[in-house]
Chains A and B, each alone.
Chain A
Amino acid sequence: MTAAPPVPVHPRLGVRVAYRLQQVLRPNAGYRWLSARVEASGPVRALFTGAERTTKTPVFGCRMCGQCALPATGYVCPMGCPKELRNGPCGGVGADGSCEVYPERRCVWVDAYDRAASQGRAADLRLLHRPIDHRRWGQSSWLNYWQGRDDDLWTAEP
């Protein structure tokens, strides 16, 4: 979707820390208020979105799809998969766990499974992810998350 094609990225943040951050960043009245204020101003929103990009791109290889799957994927970005698969690995993963398109890199789903399972969160990978909304590329997923616009990204039962 964006200019650079997707490439699998191994996160630079340990999975335990990531899950701890998840607790801290969970939506609440404070975040809802804050995100509404940020969204109210164009320049502030742009600044905030830039800050998200600056933080998440080096750490997760974030491509700013605006609808973050990280909490359900062991904090490995599925948009780094060359096929942008959000529901698990394709059938072409190498026996050593390598990506078929970038054999020198690890499949993001092999990575996601290992990281989630190491923290007892393998069941997260069973969630069914809905198709993404391509109009959201470039948006801040944090704002979308705190404003409740991400509530429907995945579900346990169709």
Chain B
Amino acid sequence: MSLRERLASGGFAVTAEISPPRGASTAKITETAELLKPSVDAVNVTDNQGSNVRLASWAGSLALLAAGLEPVMQMTCRDRNRIALQSDLLGASALGIRNILVMTGDHPKFGDHPGAKPVFDLDSVQLLWALRAMRDQHVLLSGRKLDPPPDCFLGAVENPFAPPVQFRAERLGKKVKAGAQFVQTQFVFDVPAFARWMAQVRDLGLHEKCAILAGVGAVRSVKALDYMRDHVPGVEVPDAAHDRLRNVPPGRQAAEGVKLAAEIIQQVAEIPGVAGVHLLVAGNERAVPDILDGAGLKTTTRQNHGR
């Protein structure tokens, strides 16, 4: 069952995320795919995450397809203009990559090439809009006709916790209007704040047009949590989560992180309108089966055929 079908059927979807290697090999991706295959519906392949050069997301996505796991190809606005982005969608669709996750992208300042030209020719709303028009109206941004049109399932991201908080659900509303069919959120550590955002999402009726996947991550240590808080833009870590990890000895922090993630999944799954979870576990993929077991989500029933 594809991610699109899983969400259409009303099933609880599970996606995860991998960060491709800094090197010219997909062996690591294939290895991780084998590990994740039984547990998840689809896996994001990041697009030069944190503005650091990695193997291209389209190539990583093809490697996942070859390994029998459905990819979600991330596409940021940071490095490519409207010509390259539209061209990439055509290429991805032609080669069987169906899920496209559109995001603004981190600023180059945060990566390994801080002097790079930030492109940002389109923003995420405009890119979603353009990709949907390519698929549904068979036209490019220029108005030129396409034949045949791409087949794609369009996703977006949202950070429910970043200011202006009152505008965050409406911002998702803009993305839904532009074409988003599913959304993956930033890390949820603060469940009550996430529930408040979800209430606004339901008030706007967005959950009926767009599947909401809550972002949940397992942190391996207090150190990892601190790094995330201090170096990953847009991540807020409440003191309660921090205290919880700090109060166990270093050797047991990874297990506590898994337990915390499982509990958060159980809590967000109870919130009306939540269609699934997105596991932010890049680099910690081995924790996925344990997290899902802890959350009571069967990991053996998911069969992935990719394409």
> Do A and B belong to a common assembly?
yes
Q: Which residues of A contact B (CB under 8 A)?
A: 5, 82-97, 100-101, 107, 109-110, 113-114, 117, 122, 125-126, 128-131, 134, 157-158
Size of the chain B interface, CB-CB below 8 angstroms: 42
- Inter-subunit contact A83/B107 (CB<8 Å): yes
B164-A113 in contact (CB<8A): yes
CB proximity of B16 to chain A, nearest CB, Å:
19
Please tell me which one of the listed residues A87, A89, A101, A131 contacts residue B162 in the complex, with CB atoms under 8 A apart: A89
Would you call A131 and B234 a contact (CB within 8 A)?
Answer: no
Q: Is the CB of A131 within 8 A of B126?
A: yes
Once the chains bind, are A88 and B106 in contact (CB under 8 Å)?
A: no
Bound complex: CA of A107 vs CA of B110, how far in Å? 17
**Complex-state Cα separation, A91 to B124, whole angstroms:** 11
Distance between Cα atoms of A86 and B126 in the complex (Å)? 9
Q: What 6 pairs across the A-B complex have the smallest Cβ distances?
A: A92-B233, A91-B159, A87-B125, A113-B164, A93-B162, A91-B234
Closest CB of chain A to B196's CB: distance in Å? 15
Q: Tell me the minimal C-beta distance from A108 to chain B in angstroms.
A: 11
Q: Is the CB of A91 within 8 A of B186?
A: yes
Please list 17 pairs of residues, one from A and one from B, whose beta carbons are closer than 8 Å in the complex, sorted by A's number.
A83-B120, A84-B120, A85-B123, A87-B174, A88-B174, A89-B171, A91-B159, A93-B159, A95-B163, A100-B233, A101-B109, A109-B164, A110-B164, A113-B167, A128-B174, A130-B126, A158-B179
**Are the C-beta atoms of A83 and B162 separated by less than 8 Å?**
no
**Known A82-B118, A91-B157, A128-B174; contact A101-B107, beta-carbon cutoff 8 A:** yes
